[in-house]
Amino acid sequence: MTRALFVIDVQNDFTEGGALGVTGGAHVAQAVTDHLRARRDRYDLVVASRDWHAPDGDNGGHFSTEPDFVDSWPPHCVQGSSGAEYHPDLDTSFVDVHVLKGDGRPAYSLFDGVVADGRPFGGVLAAAGVDEVEVVGLATDHCVRASALDAVAAGLRVTVLTDLVAGVAAAPSDAALAELRAAGVRTVPSSDVVDGSTGVPA
């Protein structure tokens, strides 16, 4: 079995003080780093994604001056801006593959992105022979959800580590985790995957 860790969008604009800051985002950045320091050998591949939106235009309707916060949003994670950078508490030296998504169009899932040489991420993952993934990052109710669902659709065994994610709001985050469980995703704390527990908390 070849296992990957997906670190989703742990960026300055998605943490406290950012354009779309998530409460607990900075904690997730540090907690993911701590997890990797203790358990890097658990993963054959560590992948980190970033929103990487074009500085001009509305990125296919993704940006709006009157956002509905469902399909349109205030400008965020603009290419070359500090908001698009990884949060400083995320130690990116552990990352093997960096994925950029949302260049000129809406993109929520890691699978919508490309790697540095322009190859689609899905092809890179398939070439690595990954069959199991654990998902962490931001935000539970948006890009974590979309990435995990696409991982299931790609035929992977998927686990979301619930202590290493944070969402925009409690109710939609809970709904996203329920949707993921219904799709076959395990949702457990990071301690459970190490201890071997098969419990799936509500």
b/e code 57-93 from CB counts within 10 Å (16+ = b): eebeebbeeeeeeeebbebbbbeebebbebbebbebe
Q: How far is CA 30 from CA 89, 174, 202, in A?
A: 5, 22, 25
Q: Map residue 99 onto helix, strand or coil.
A: strand
- Residue of 9, 51, 141, 192 with catalytic role: 9
Question: Is 143 tagged catalytic?
Answer: yes
Query: 101, 112, 141, 192: which one is catalytic?
Result: 101
Active-site pick, 51, 112, 141, 143: 143
Query: Residue 94 corresponds to which amino acid?
Result: F
Give SS3 for 41. Answer: helix
CB distance 157 to 130 below 8 Å: no
Q: With beta carbons less than 8 A apart as the criterion, state whether 5 and 39 touch.
A: no
The residues annotated with a catalytic role in the active site are 9, 101, 143
